[in-house]
Structure 1
Amino acid sequence: MTLKERDKKHLWHPLTQHKIHPDAMPIIKAEGALLFDDDGKEYIDGIASWYTAMYGHCNPYIIEKVNTQMRNLDQIVFAGFTHEPAIHLSEELIKILPQNQEKIFFSDNGSTANEVGIKMALQYHFNKGEKRNTIIAFNDGFHGDTFGAMSASGLSVYNGPFEDFFIDVQRIPTPNNENFEEVINKLSEIISTYNVAAFIYEPLVQGANAMHMFEAKYLNEILKICSVNNIITIADEVMTGFGKTGKNFASDYIETKPDIISMSKALTAGFVPMAVTSCTQEIYDAFLDDSIGKAFFHAHTYSANPIACSVAIAGIELLGSEEIQKNIKNIIKSHTDFDTKIKNHPKVKATRQKGVIYALDLEIEMDRYGKKRYEIFDHFMKNGVCLRPLGKTIYILPPYVITQGQLNKIYDTILVLLSSL
């Protein structure tokens, strides 16, 4: 049997309606910005495999570091034990995180990183003797698939069957020049009506919400109001972290820094699963007590796995390198040049860019995961480009090692699509 046939016997893929799109593409090799299928055809990975492999697939520098670590220490329980890779990683993360971050908590993926942040915020107030049980979040934000993260997410296409089981979340629109006063009034109304524990948000770019972008100055005003009201702020940097917006973190664009930051995806460069939730010293101190009940009882078997930590350290070293920083600037300029060429195309409704993240909305009507979306996806794959449209939104978020020729092929394939609509 072929890999496709074997796949269909037992596997259930994420975010897939198998009735509409039954076949999954077998990938047997990856290198740099390229993927290779079981027929030997190559594809340019225009989304860094869901924003993870930012330094390229099978990066030899990372492989060398992982190989060394695997020969020394593979796994050790992190409750009551520690090891050099976790300590080293914490030191390197604190160097590049916003200056108010002091403590590092390990988990397994982006959803759990946000779950940890939400639990930290709720228990912070509980430990201080305050009953605060409401979370504020943006409309149409996305924070993951565990229950706390789902509760904070506003995309019902993912969460509809589970909404009766969610924690209490009140929502505000993402701010812009037209609605900013409305957003502030809504925020003030929620704060005066509910016992608000935390505000969770994707800073500047909402990934799953079709790469919706908004300005730092508006978010900063919201964060200032939260700070005055002792509302814990949680920046979901799972997608935006590690250079994608042009800075180490999207929070670097914002004057008021978050109390808690969640990270995953590019943290481990597409090699292995791991996540981090960082927080301020003030958050951490609220859990220090003679009572065991005030400790933070959240754990994952593979927390701070030494191999994953070694990958993350190597990734941070690459992020800070002259070569990667130069590549990031080149990608940003290439996107800007492409935007100049395409933004007035009759089949393009709108475009936007933040760092290496570029998105365009097609001037057509279609369902997010309907038949037309899969036709567009297939167009890209047939032309050797891996892009995953979010409904009518096409976005590019490439590995930092992508070549100019590979970028140009992505742009050309988009232009061919527009001509065919």
Structure 2
Amino acid sequence: MTRQATSPIWHPFTQHALQPEMLPIVRGEGAYLYAADGRRIIDAIASWWVVTHGHCHPAIVQAIQAQAERLDQLIFAGHTHEPAEQVAAGLLELTPPGLAHVFFSDSGATSVEVALKMALGYFKNIGEPRTRIVVMQHSYHGDTIGAMSVGARGVFNAAYEPLLFDVSVVPFPAEGQEQATLDALAEICRRDRPAAFIVEPLVLGAGGMLIYPAAVLREMHRICQAFGVLFIADEVMTGWGRTGTLFACEQADVAPDIACYAKGLTGGALPLAVTLCNHAIFEAHCSIDRTRTFFHSSSYTANPIACAAASANLALWRRPEVRAQIAGVADAQERCLARFRYDERFSDLRRCGTITALDLHADEPGYLADVGPKLQAFFRTGNVLLRPLGHTIYVMPPYCVTSDDLDVIYAAIDEAVDHVL
């Protein structure tokens, strides 16, 4: 028998039989969330990796308020509006060269669905029907059917296996095993002539904050180019400064054929996503033959208010001091992580840009490790929002986080692990 929750809401990634009560939050400001009971909570995971400059950033809030008074919603088929045009132009200024067209959607998963459909549509329309997709072991790209199909198979999607399509998988390029990954990718590209390879650049997020070198990313891109395989960079999480540069692909000097951006696109204020592609992919769909139309949309495609938030966010990224802030957070994260460098309770301490992660020695490793919910519950009592991925604890804060905040976060990790173990 389960305890009955007081609210009818079904929350995401939540087992209500074990966590029937949710914590009411009434306000957010900067790196903090404020609970209904008055507690101030440090948001150490940027509210599921979306908040970049801080909660309720004044410039973004002002843009949302102003746009809401002018135009709230518009059918984007056959129409356009200024905020969307500003976002598209701004993105093409900031993103890797070669990306030339912007397709709007509303979440990271849908941006991935769009990317996969673009890739398959491209090859169909040029008369070279390639249909296979290559993915990386431990990857995660979202929870819609196509996104689940190109992600790791396991507890997340076991019930939905009949709906998922088959893919080719290359091993994660763990330290010392990078060449095996590259050899596997080359062999699949040679043998199967796939349509596309989709990858999270530098960091695999939900797979456990697994980090691999930029040189491997660069070589994977080169292999795809050699075999005419479209390279899809899923930067939904890795974009917007998380890895130390605005986009992770910059560190490998990689210009993807297709790129997916979401989460921090609006600074974390509103849901919005984009899928960018090169001109050849767009051109393959551009024809007087209406059967070659790119058949995808959502009701809120390029919502004007969300686009206004994104435009304000792009303006912030043009300020040198904002990019400098990323380096400061990265340095502070490295300093804080060092306190556990020789701590036998942990292994595989790692950092990429503003992201840190470490694995707790646990009897049951993996996402369903019992230690995960216990740690999360303890962090809540200490007014720190951390949500471990099983036995993996990670910190990914908004960029306005202070050194004092980080000291509190890492002290909470130290105390929580002692308490749980």
2-structure distance, mates of 1:334, 1:201? 28
Contact 1:260 1:278 survives alignment (8 Å): yes
Return the offset for 1:313: 1.0
CA contact (8 A) 1:343 1:350 kept: no
Report the counterpart of residue 351 of structure 1 in structure 2: 349
CA distance in 2, matches of 1:63, 1:6: 37
**1:40 and 1:23 mapped to 2: Cα distance?**
17
1:142 aligns with 2:168: no
Of the three residues 61, 64, 83, the one matched with 1:63 is: 61
Q: How does 1:164-179 map to 2 (within 5 A)?
A: 164-179=162-177
CA drift at 1:6: 10
Question: What is the aligned-residue identity percentage?
Answer: 38
Helix, strand or coil at the partner of 1:44? strand
Residue 262 of structure 1 corresponds to: 260
TM-score (norm 1): 0.95
Shift of 1:415: 1.9
The Cα offsets for residues 236-292 of structure 1, whole Å up to 9 and x where unpaired, read as 000011111111100101133210000110111222111100011111111111210
The corresponding residue for 1:388 is 387
Structure 2 equivalent of residue 128 of structure 1:
126
TM-score for the superposition, normalised by structure 2:
0.95
**Secondary structure of residue in 1 paired with 2:147:** helix
Given the superposition, is the C-alpha separation of residues 55 and 176 from structure 1 closer, same or farther in structure 2, using an over 3 Å criterion? same
Q: 1:151-300 counterparts in 2 under 5 A?
A: 151-300=149-298
Post-superposition CA distance 1:383-418 (Å, at most 9, x none):
110000001111111011112221111111112224
Partner of 1:401: 400
SS in 2 for 1:346: coil
1:78 match: secondary structure: coil
Which stretch has the larger CA shift, 340-349 or 388-397?
340-349
What CA deviation, in whole Å up to 9, does each residue of 1:89-118 have, x standing for no partner?
A: 111111110011111000010000000000
Q: CA deviation at 1:185?
A: 2.9
Question: Post-superposition shift, 1:197?
Answer: 0.6
Report the residue type matching 2:231 in the other structure.
T
In the alignment, structure 2 segments of 5+ residues that lack a partner are none
8 Å contact kept, 2:5–2:16:
no
Among 14, 33, 51, the alignment partner of 1:35 is 33
Tell me which moved more, 316-325 or 249-258. 316-325
Distance 1:404 1:335 in 2: 9
> What displacement does 1:320 show?
2.9
1:83 aligns with 2:81: yes
SS at match of 2:179: helix
Corresponding residue of 2:109:
111
Deviation at 1:30, TM superposition (A): 1.1
Give the root-mean-square deviation of aligned CA atoms: 1.6
Q: Cα distance, 1:368 vs. partner? A: 1.9
For 2:187 and 2:58, locate their aligned partners in 1 and report how far apart those are by CA, in whole Å.
53
Letter in 2 for 1:380: F
* Alignment-derived partner of residue 410 in structure 1: 409
Contact 2:375/2:417 (8 A) holds in 1? no
- 8 Å contact 1:365–1:392 — kept in the other structure? no
Alignment partner, residue 360 of structure 2: 362
Structure 1: unaligned runs, 5 residues or longer: none
TM-fit CA distance, 1:88: 0.7
SS of the aligned residue for 1:157 comes to coil
* Letter aligned with residue 196 of structure 1: P
Q: Give the corresponding residue for 1:319.
A: 317
2:406 match: secondary structure: helix
How far does the alpha carbon of each residue in 1:163-191 deviate from its partner, in whole angstroms, 9 at most, with x for none? 22222311001224522332233223322
Report the Cα offset of residue 9 of structure 1: 3.5
- After the TM superposition, which parts of structure 1 deviate over 6 Å for at least 4 consecutive aligned residues? none
The answer on whether the counterparts of 2:362 and 2:371 sit within 8 Å (CA) in structure 1 is no
Instruction: Kindly provide the CA deviation profile for residues 54-113 of structure 1, in whole angstroms up to 9, marking residues without a partner as x.
Output: 111111111111111111111111100011111111111111100111110000100000
Cα gap change, 1:315 to 1:140, in 2 (>3 Å): same
In 1, distance between residues paired with 2:12 and 2:175? 36
